[in-house]
Amino acid sequence: MSESTPLLVTRGLSLGIRQADGTSLPVLDQLDFSIRAGETFALVGESGCGKSLTALALMRLLPPGIQVTGGEIFLRGRELLRLPEAHMRELRGGDMAMIFQEPANSLNPVLTIERQIGEALALHLKLTGRARREYAKDLLAQVGIGDPARRLAEYPFQLSGGMKQRVMIAIALAARPRLLIADEPSTALDVTVQAQILDLLQNLQAKYGMALLLITHDLGVVARMADQIGVMYAGQLVEHAGREAFFRAPRHPYSRALFAALPETARHGQRLHALPGQAPAFTALPFACRFASRCAAREKAEEGTRCLEEAPLLEEQSDGAWARCHFQKTEDRGQKAAVPLAAEPPHIDLSSVLRPSSSDPLSSARGLRVYFPVRKGLLQRTRGFVRAVDGVDLDLTPGRTLALVGESGCGKTTVGRALMQLVPATGGEFFWQGKRLDPRDKAEMRRLRQSMQMVFQDPYASLNPRMSVGEILREGMLALNAVRSEREARERCAALLLQVGLKAEHASRYPHEFSGGQRQRVAIARALAVSPRVLLCDEPTSALDVSVQAQILNLMQDLQAELGIAYLFITHNFAVVEYLAHEIAVMYLGRVVESGPAAAVLANPAHPYTRALLSAVPRIEGGREVIRLEGEAPSPANPPPGCHFCPRCKAVMPICEKAYPPMASFATDRKVACWMQKAADGNT
């Protein structure tokens, strides 16, 4: 096969939902694209647009009820849809492999890592015994997992999220596939691990000449990784272009709306351009343009009725780009387009949020410590402690957002759970409106539960699968006496669903009937159901595409402006931090290493760890050198002496290995725990 011949070709690929009467509802419609060896094709779009179904169709792993209704798929010239299942089993993991979106759900919890990698090696490479074990160990080393011999004997629950994702990559690469399909491979990872995973994929792609189909909603990742970009909407490919052309001048109104929805520092205190309404359901797809009902370009165009009467074709332009739109525009993103990206959202005066009437904290913690005992031996005696949180101070102020950032496992989520009394604190003090709280007073803590609510990271795990959405929302209202009657609860439930971008009739559905982004909206609605004054948000937008994320961030801004809610925003998404946060606290191995006003910390980070985090953020404009951290964070059960960051710090000094630096104040309202900063201030 020559280099100019595509490795993968799809022609007119169409999928449908099989109906009882033998007909099918369209899901994917006439999908055409190709990928060459060594090339990366990025597929982007909203949740539910068909990206993951496309990947499953290529692997012939479609769920029951979904069927191919037309088209062809060629891999190295072989038509996959006509192959017997026995031949497809040989191709899966051999010529083509897939990294699934959620490694925690994709890995078998009762099998060791060695068994799971060994299955692929035995099937495709016929390796057995010691040779298979050595090959598996080499694979783990290639994907950057330290001490691979020990990790082979461990189970998935013993690994961090980043390590589970690396194991998934190792399994996918076991037989050196020619095509690798990566479905959101870095979505749930913090920025440093994300940078390592993306580096790994690029290095392995260059080494083996793999073609990569990358499914993602992160335009920063797309800008870094992609050669070609396809934008999907409601089961159709609406734009297809090279990376430079796409980021310079996106043609389709939907593509331009995605850029307009990106949170940026310059938009702090302003509403984002969120797309109105929702994508059409597959049961009610319009005959003409599927984006017409949400497109402001149609409303401004003289011949806008054409969009409601005639379906646009995916047409090639002079520069090789393709777009499915009657009114294509090619303005640069840096200039104002003649056709607006979306209807201008109403302005909301956020001056009261940026300058709250009261600077007194609603909720505070001083010296917060959470230790988990390590028990060993037959009698399970305590042999040590995991210092998950080790002396954290924070204040949550009305109308302000404190962003808590750091790598996975640094203790961010544990801080939020300790504030909610979902895990017992080992030490420290809690305050509510200046009054010291006694966590042992269960009645008082229950009264405060209505004032403090939490949005958990994984909405699928935090929503009861046996309860409808309406029952989930009403449960908290009734339990905490937030409403006077069942009728009032139902009315408030309908209003909440509309407020978070869902429909009132969704109250009768169950969590498994929603996409990941929709489930996260339900989780936010549940937290808002009892009108809290403090909202603890644990990665609330990590699984959302940018258009849905814009709606959620606008909602949070509105609520903060209207009600003066205080947010503790736990996240690894620095674009959201830049847009939403007023203050930032950076955590590493259970301790805050830097804190201060968001604008000051982001513009001039003082701690080496903060600088590494910010450098690893993928940005659509590029141009920033990544500071790569060596290895992984030490275990909180056995932290290194001195500064906990010194084993990974490139600016380490002798004193760093001897004593932990105190949290020192500098500039205005800024603090940092670093000996280098103290040396710069002349305090050492």
For the record, the structure tokens of 271 come out as: 């509403």
Q: Are 156 and 178 in contact (CB under 8 A)?
A: no
User: What angle is formed at CA 459 by the lines to CA 454 and CA 463, rounded to 5 degrees?
Assistant: 85
Q: If 0-12 CB within 10 Å is exposed, 13-18 middle and 19+ buried, where does residue 464 land?
A: exposed
Residue 381 — φ and ψ, nearest 5°?
-80, 150
Q: What per-residue confidence (pLDDT) applies to 188?
A: 64
**Tens digit of pLDDT for each residue in 526-582?**
988 888 899 999 888 776 778 778 877 887 888 788 888 999 999 878 888 888 899
Strand order in the sheet with 78-79: 24-35, 8-18, 66-75, 78-79
- Averaged pLDDT, 417-441: 89
How many CB atoms sit inside 10 A of residue 346's CB? Answer: 7
C-alpha 255/C-alpha 295 separation (Å) is: 11
C-alpha 188/C-alpha 457 separation (Å) is: 9
Q: What per-residue confidence (pLDDT) applies to 343?
A: 38
- Averaged pLDDT, 436-458: 83
- One-letter amino acid for residue 134 of the chain: E
3-state secondary structure 570-616: ECCCHHHHHHHCCEEEEEECCEEEEEEEHHHHHHCCCCHHHHHHHHC
Per DSSP, the residues of 633-673 read: PPPTTSPPSS-TTGGG-TT--GGGGTSPPP-EEETTTEEE-
Region for residue 623 given its phi and psi (left: phi exceeds 0; alpha: psi -120 to 50; beta: otherwise): left
Report domain extents, the chain. 8-226, 250-347, 361-375+383-451+532-680, 463-531
**Tens digit of pLDDT for each residue in 454-490?**
988 777 778 999 999 999 999 988 888 888 888 899 9
C-alpha 246/C-alpha 211 separation (Å) is: 20
**Tens digit of pLDDT for each residue in 223-268?**
989 999 999 999 999 999 999 999 988 989 999 988 888 886 556 6
Q: What per-residue confidence (pLDDT) applies to 574?
A: 83
C-alpha 179/C-alpha 210 separation (Å) is: 6
- Averaged pLDDT, 334-359: 40
pLDDT grade, residue 81 (50/70/90)?
Answer: very high
Q: What per-residue confidence (pLDDT) applies to 651?
A: 85
> N- to C-terminal Cα distance for the chain?
65
Which parts of 188-270 are beta strand (E)? Answer: 211-215, 228-233, 236-242
Domain 361-375+383-451+532-680 has CATH 3.40.50.300: yes
User: What's the whole-number average pLDDT of the chain?
Assistant: 84
**Tens digit of pLDDT for each residue in 576-606?**
888 889 999 999 999 999 999 998 999 899 9
Would the pLDDT of 678 be above 90? no
**Tens digit of pLDDT for each residue in 269-303?**
677 887 777 788 777 888 899 998 888 777 666 66
Q: Are 550 and 261 in contact (CB under 8 A)?
A: yes
Same CATH topology for 8-226 and 361-375+383-451+532-680? yes
Would the pLDDT of 338 be above 80? no
For the record, the structure tokens of 399 come out as: 């109308």
Q: If 0-12 CB within 10 Å is exposed, 13-18 middle and 19+ buried, where does residue 178 land?
A: buried
Would the pLDDT of 361 be above 60? yes
User: What angle is formed at CA 185 by the lines to CA 182 and CA 191, rounded to 5 degrees?
Assistant: 150
Per DSSP, the residues of 405-425 read: E--TTSSHHHHHHHHTTSS--
Q: Are 62 and 15 in contact (CB under 8 A)?
A: yes
Query: pTM of whole model > 0.85?
Result: no
For 8-226, which CATH class? alpha beta
